[in-house]
Amino acid sequence: MTTAIIEAHDLVKRFGSFTAVDHVSFAVPEGVIFGFLGPNGAGKTTTIKMLTTVLTPSDGQLVIAGHDPVKEPLLVRRAFGIVFQDPSLDDELTAAENMELHGVLYGVKRAQRLERVEGLLHFVGLWERRDDYVKCFSGGMKRRLEIARALQHRPRILFLDEPTIGLDPQTRNQIWELIRELCRDERLTVFFTTHYMEEAERVADRIAIIDHGRIVAQGDIAALRQQTGGSTLEDAFLALTGCSIREAGAEPIDCMRAMRQARGSRR
Amino acid sequence: MNAVFILWLRQLKRYSRSRARMIGMLGQPILFLLALGFGLGPTFARAGHGNYVQFLAPGIVTMGILFTAVFSGVEIIWDRQFGFLKETLVAPVSRPEVVLGRTLGGATVALIQGGIILLVCLAVGFRPAHPLLLPVALLFMALIAILCSAIGTAIGSVLQDMQGFQLIMNFITLPLFFFSSALFPVSDLPEAVRLAVRLDPLSYGVDGLRGVLSGGFVFGAATDFEVLGGLAVVMLAIGTHLFSKIELKVDPAHQEDR
């Protein structure tokens, strides 16, 4: 048994009287691709935010790459790279400038940075487009750039929050191939969330299913199928979480995004 | 320190690439300069106060710096709503460094805008009383820029969306501007307005700049310098505090997980 690089014990997050994450425990061994599944509003993103130091847990313990994200956020941040659910690039900068900014923020030395940026941009097929503004990029190109960026400081853990949403199958496969290569060659640990059950089934080594803030099942996929008697992971998922459709509230950010899109389409 | 530099550089790149923003932020002060400077000039002269453009120019330069610098605070809201802020939040960089880089970047952009407005003032007939004191004028402009940029950072850290920003812009920047004695002399003012001018931090910027460029301090160069410098440090500290606090509650809604 390899040692765990991500450990959560009785993790809790409350927002007022609402408990978004309710006594969640799991461990992710190093070099593993870990899928974190759940319906809308189950607590996936809240969990990722706590793991990545941007949200403070209400209760419970976390150890990420040997450090406590609450007490030593800077050490934890150095150890992981993240691709968020929504883009987090600066649209007004070029691809290369976004990479440079990241490298400087993470203290990557100049010579090393130039070498890695070239390698990574080739890796994700964006080297030719390095001097183009990110605002001209398609969704898939942005996603690939974000993955390249997240890997620039050689993290031990890569967090991917819905990494392939809205991507075509070609891009999706290409991205997973890249990631699997890294897990194999560099012992990178990947923690990802997804809605696509067949995607989790194909790429994940281990999974956990969260619903209403609680882990309802975890382990490898064959064990889960056996546990629920389903033939696919989707069957298992539905057996565990039920068939009702979840509602997630619209945040101000959704309204902003909608407004921005409306404005953009008028132009 | 590299992180501060790269975030500063980012603000400058964004500014230099957005011609529309650059011109938009120049429009209002220049309109004030031309319309008020020449419109009220004869009345001002008849009242025995001399050349109004000469009096007004330092106030207009301050206005340009104020608006640009506070507006740079808006960028925090945009960055938060459209993603980039997250990149700085998970980076292994302390919050004070992030705030310092952003604030100095906004201040530098505002200083450049102020410089352009000063050139426009020169073009329409403004003449500095002591051309040799121009470096001192630039120092005052830099202090005003840092103070206003820090105010913008503090506001941008607290607000969640642009609607709120407009509101506070109008209730903070416009009063700051109007009571700063940018448009009118302090002498012979009613007591209440005089008090408002004294309480307005920007008054010390206008006074310092006017003293150096046009001659005639009201509060004195040393007082202006101390108040501006002191407040800039205090506002930076407040901005850093608010910025650090806001980040931890990235999720205002209960169900943020879509």
Looking at residue B118, its pLDDT comes to: 95
- Cβ-based neighbour number of residue B190 at 10 Å: 8
Residues of B in contact with A107 (CB under 8 A): 2, 92
Q: Got the DSSP string for A75-103?
A: HHHHHEEEE-SS--S-TTSBHHHHHHHHH
Q: Chain B: residue nearest A57 by CA?
A: B248
- Using pLDDT thresholds of 50, 70 and 90, give the confidence band for residue A225: confident
**Mean pLDDT over the full length of chain A:** 85
Has residue B161 got a pLDDT over 90? no
**Is A80 among the domain residues?**
yes
Residues 197-256 of B with CB under 8 A from A: 247-256
A51: domain range?
A: 4-91+137-266
B225-237: average pLDDT: 94
Closest-CA distance, A45 to chain B, in angstroms, reads: 5
**Is A130 among the domain residues?**
no
A57-79: average pLDDT: 93
Amino acid letter, B180: S
**Is A260 among the domain residues?**
yes
Q: How many separate domains does chain A show?
A: 1
**Is A151 among the domain residues?**
yes
Highest mean pLDDT: which range of A151-165, A218-232, B97-111, B157-171 = B97-111
Which residue has better confidence, A150 or A221? A150
Has residue A208 got a pLDDT over 60? yes
Looking at residue A45, its pLDDT comes to: 87
Closest-CA distance, A235 to chain B, in angstroms, reads: 21
pLDDT tens-digit readout, B116-149:
999 999 999 899 988 888 999 999 999 999 999 9
pLDDT tens-digit readout, A14-46:
988 888 999 999 999 999 999 998 887 788 889
**Is A122 among the domain residues?**
no
Question: What is the longest distance spanned by two Cα atoms in chain A?
Answer: 57
A161-185: average pLDDT: 82
- Residues A65, A76: contact at Cβ < 8 Å? yes
Q: Quote the CA–CA distance of A75 and A69 in Å, as a whole number.
A: 8
Has residue A266 got a pLDDT over 60? no
Residues of B in contact with A252 (CB under 8 A): 160-161, 252
Picking from B6, B86, B249, the nearest residue to A104 by CB comes out as B6
- Using pLDDT thresholds of 50, 70 and 90, give the confidence band for residue A247: low
Q: Quote the CA–CA distance of A202 and B174 in Å, as a whole number.
A: 59
Has residue A118 got a pLDDT over 70? yes
Picking from B3, B18, B90, the nearest residue to A53 by CB comes out as B90
Question: Can you count the helices (H) and strands (E) in chain A?
Answer: 10, 9
Task: Please check whether residue A191 touches B, CB under 8 A.
Answer: no
> Cβ–Cβ of A104/B87 closer than 8 Å?
no
Residue owning tokens 């974190």: A36
Residues 98-157 of A with CB under 8 A from B: 100-102, 104-107
In CATH, what number is assigned to the domain containing residue A17? 3.40.50.300
> Cβ–Cβ of B256/A248 closer than 8 Å?
yes
Q: Quote the CA–CA distance of A18 and A21 in Å, as a whole number.
A: 9
Q: How far is CA B22 from CA A203, B112, B188, in A?
A: 48, 10, 37
Has residue B109 got a pLDDT over 90? yes
Return the domain boundaries, chain B.
11-248
Q: Quote the CA–CA distance of A72 and B224 in Å, as a whole number.
A: 42
Looking at residue B250, its pLDDT comes to: 42
Q: What are the tokens at A198?
A: 């067949």
B contact test, residue of A72, A84, A93, A104 with most B CBs within 10 A: A104
**Mean pLDDT over the full length of chain B:** 88
Looking at residue A2, its pLDDT comes to: 56
Residue owning tokens 């509650």: B249
Closest-CA distance, B17 to chain A, in angstroms, reads: 8
Closest-CA distance, B97 to chain A, in angstroms, reads: 10
Q: Quote the CA–CA distance of B65 and B59 in Å, as a whole number.
A: 10
- At residue B126, the 3 state secondary structure works out as coil
A181-203: average pLDDT: 86
pLDDT tens-digit readout, B37-68:
999 988 888 888 888 999 999 999 999 999 99
Residues of B in contact with A74 (CB under 8 A): 92-94
- What's the complex ipTM? 0.85
**Is A217 among the domain residues?**
yes
Looking at residue A260, its pLDDT comes to: 53
Looking at residue A39, its pLDDT comes to: 81
- Residues A124, A99: contact at Cβ < 8 Å? no
Looking at residue A158, its pLDDT comes to: 95
- At residue A26, the 3 state secondary structure works out as strand
pLDDT tens-digit readout, B203-213:
999 999 999 99
Strand partners, A27: A7
